């Protein structure tokens, strides 16, 4: 219980740091970014939004910084995230963010689970068949795969399967001539649009799962209890899954719990390359348009998702592994 409370305290502290960063960063930058934004987007920003922007960045105000800070904290806590300045002028930021979340959760969430399951399985089999073809090829190939930039992999897949072969669509979340609804035409169109970005993410992330699983599993395979299982004459697949993999999976599982938190902000550049209208795409749109309220809300959302996942994985590990509780 004390362990959980401590982690909860850490969660709140980090949340506060992220909130404060959002507040302090623009005020620390040389030349107030808000001034530049106002100059760049004259005419686009409504007088009303201008006022909000000035309040947010402490321009033309008699309030001191401390009062501004507490007002900002209050607004954030009550879900009052302001309006989009330039991306969709006048639209509520909270609304835009909520619209983007399902697309990212669907694309990145499903792919993350898939990469974890596939990668872990390949790692288990590779370590089990030590010295086989798979195992001797695996480390160098997957080490190299983990350093491929997401966005470049996306571009290459677009070149091959989109531009050259015309097999798959590579722009947008779905064909905008279709009306969204629960019919097969729409759903299949959405799935079609998700294939290439999902595949990009799968290729670039699976290597980490494979290598971590393989390397932990190799260490586990040398344990005495695995030797005893062999001596007892248990069938190979039982030793592989129930004795070795089961004990080797903890690092991968904690990594998985954390990566679920990164799902929300996880594939910014993939979404950008495919114009996939999720959270990451929205963030980059906000960045390109100097849409600071939207940008700040998205950064906060991404941070909260990561923090929640870490908190849950900590609690999960504490429940599963008594040693953690003792250590804290």
Partner 1 sequence: MAIMAPGDPGSVSEPGQPTPTLLGPTGGLPAPAGGITGVRSLRRMTRAVTSNRKATVGALLLLFFCLVALFPGVIAHDNPNAEIYPRHLGPSAQHLLGTTAFGQDMFAQLVWGTRPVLLIALLAGFGATIIAMLVGVASAFLGGAWDGVLGLVTDVLLVIPLFPLLIIIASYLHGAGTTVLIAVIILTSWSYTARQVRAQALSLRSRDFLNAARVRGERSLYIIVVEIIPTMTSLLVAAFLTNALYAVLFSASLQFIGLGDPSSTSWGTMLYWAENAEAFQTGQAQWIIAPGLCIVALGAAFALLNYAFDEIGNPALRPARSMRRTSVKRPG
**Which parts of 40-59 interact with partner 1 (CB under 8 A)?**
none
Residue of the chain from 158, 198, 245, 297 that contacts partner 1 (CB under 8 A) = 158
* Number of CB atoms found within 10 A of residue 251's CB: 12
CA angle (72, 75, 77) in 5-degree steps: 105
C-alpha closest to that of 276 among 146, 162, 132, 108: 108
CA distances from 108 to 83, 150, 210 (A): 27, 13, 19
Kindly report the length of the chain: 328
According to CB under 8 A, which residues from 59 to 98 bind partner 1? none
What is the C-alpha to C-alpha distance for residues 138 and 122, in angstroms, rounded to an integer? Answer: 9
What is the C-alpha to C-alpha distance for residues 250 and 254, in angstroms, rounded to an integer? Answer: 6
Is 272 among the residues that bind partner 1 (CB under 8 A)? yes
According to CB under 8 A, which residues from 187 to 246 bind partner 1? 204-205, 207-209, 211-212, 215-216, 218-219, 222
Tell me the window of 43-51, 74-82, 83-91, 282-290 that interacts with partner 1 (CB under 8 A).
Answer: 282-290
Q: For residue 104, what are its two tokens?
A: 């990212």
The set of residues, in sequence order, having a beta carbon less than 8 Å from that of 8 and lying 6+ positions away, is 311
Helix (H, G, I), strand (E, B) or coil at 289: coil
Is 12 among the residues that bind partner 1 (CB under 8 A)? no
Residue of the chain from 12, 35, 143, 228 that contacts partner 1 (CB under 8 A) = 143
Is 33 among the residues that bind partner 1 (CB under 8 A)? yes
Is 120 among the residues that bind partner 1 (CB under 8 A)? no
Is 104 among the residues that bind partner 1 (CB under 8 A)? no
* Number of CB atoms found within 10 A of residue 51's CB: 13
Q: How many CA atoms lie within 13 A of 215 on its CB side?
A: 11
Shortest distance in whole angstroms from residue 5 CB to partner 1? 15
Is 150 among the residues that bind partner 1 (CB under 8 A)? yes
Tell me the window of 42-50, 71-79, 188-196, 305-313 that interacts with partner 1 (CB under 8 A).
Answer: 305-313
Residue of the chain from 84, 87, 173, 303 that contacts partner 1 (CB under 8 A) = 303
Is 163 among the residues that bind partner 1 (CB under 8 A)? yes
> What are the two backbone dihedrals, phi and then psi, of residue 241, each rounded to the nearest 5 degrees?
-85, -50
Q: 186 or 258: whose CB is closer to partner 1?
A: 258
C-alpha closest to that of 257 among 196, 199, 300, 320: 320
Residue of the chain from 82, 197, 198, 290 that contacts partner 1 (CB under 8 A) = 290
Q: 25 or 185: whose CB is closer to partner 1?
A: 25
The residue to which tokens 């991968």 are assigned: 252
Q: From start to end of 192-271, where are the E strands?
A: none
Shortest distance in whole angstroms from residue 216 CB to partner 1? 5
Is 247 among the residues that bind partner 1 (CB under 8 A)? no
Residue of the chain from 125, 283, 294, 297 that contacts partner 1 (CB under 8 A) = 283
Is 269 among the residues that bind partner 1 (CB under 8 A)? yes
Is 171 among the residues that bind partner 1 (CB under 8 A)? no
What is the C-alpha to C-alpha distance for residues 97 and 300, in angstroms, rounded to an integer? Answer: 11
What is the C-alpha to C-alpha distance for residues 133 and 97, in angstroms, rounded to an integer? Answer: 47
Q: 62 or 166: whose CB is closer to partner 1?
A: 166
Shortest distance in whole angstroms from residue 256 CB to partner 1? 8
Q: 186 or 312: whose CB is closer to partner 1?
A: 312
Tell me the window of 58-66, 70-78, 225-233, 304-312 that interacts with partner 1 (CB under 8 A).
Answer: 304-312
């Amino acid at each position: 219980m004390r362990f959980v409370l401590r982690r909860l305290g850490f969660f709140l502290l980090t949340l506060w740091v992220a909130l404060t960063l959002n507040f302090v960063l623009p005020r620390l930058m040389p030349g107030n970014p808000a001034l530049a934004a106002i100059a760049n987007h004259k005419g686009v920003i409504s007088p009303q939004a201008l006022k909000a922007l000035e309040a947010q960045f402490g321009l033309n105000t008699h309030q001191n910084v401390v009062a501004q800070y507490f007002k900002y904290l209050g607004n954030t806590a009550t879900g009052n995230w302001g309006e989009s300045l330039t991306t969709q002028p006048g639209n509520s930021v909270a609304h835009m963010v909520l619209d983007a979340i399902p697309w990212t959760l669907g694309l990145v969430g499903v792919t993350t689970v898939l990469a974890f399951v596939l990668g872990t399985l390949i790692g288990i089999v590779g370590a089990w068949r030590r010295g086989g073809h798979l195992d001797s090829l695996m480390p160098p190939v997957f080490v190299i795969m983990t350093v491929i930039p997401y966005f470049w992999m996306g571009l290459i897949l677009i070149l091959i399967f989109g531009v050259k072969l015309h097999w798959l669509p590579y722009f947008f979340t779905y064909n905008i001539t279709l009306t969204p609804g629960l019919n097969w035409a729409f759903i299949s169109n959405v799935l079609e649009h998700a294939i290439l970005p999902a595949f990009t993410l799968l290729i670039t992330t699976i290597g980490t799962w494979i290598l971590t699983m393989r390397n932990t599993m190799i260490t586990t395979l040398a344990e005495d209890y695995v030797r005893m299982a062999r001596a007892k004459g248990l069938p190979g697949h039982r030793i592989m899954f129930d004795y070795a993999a089961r004990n080797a999976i903890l690092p991968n599982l904690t990594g998985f719990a954390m990566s679920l938190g990164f799902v929300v902000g996880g594939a910014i550049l993939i979404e950008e390359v495919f114009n996939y209208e999720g959270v990451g795409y929205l963030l980059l749109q906000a960045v390109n348009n100097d849409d600071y309220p939207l940008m700040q809300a998205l950064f906060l959302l991404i941070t909260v998702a990561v923090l929640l996942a870490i908190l849950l994985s900590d609690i999960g590990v504490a429940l599963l592994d008594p040693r953690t509780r003792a250590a804290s």
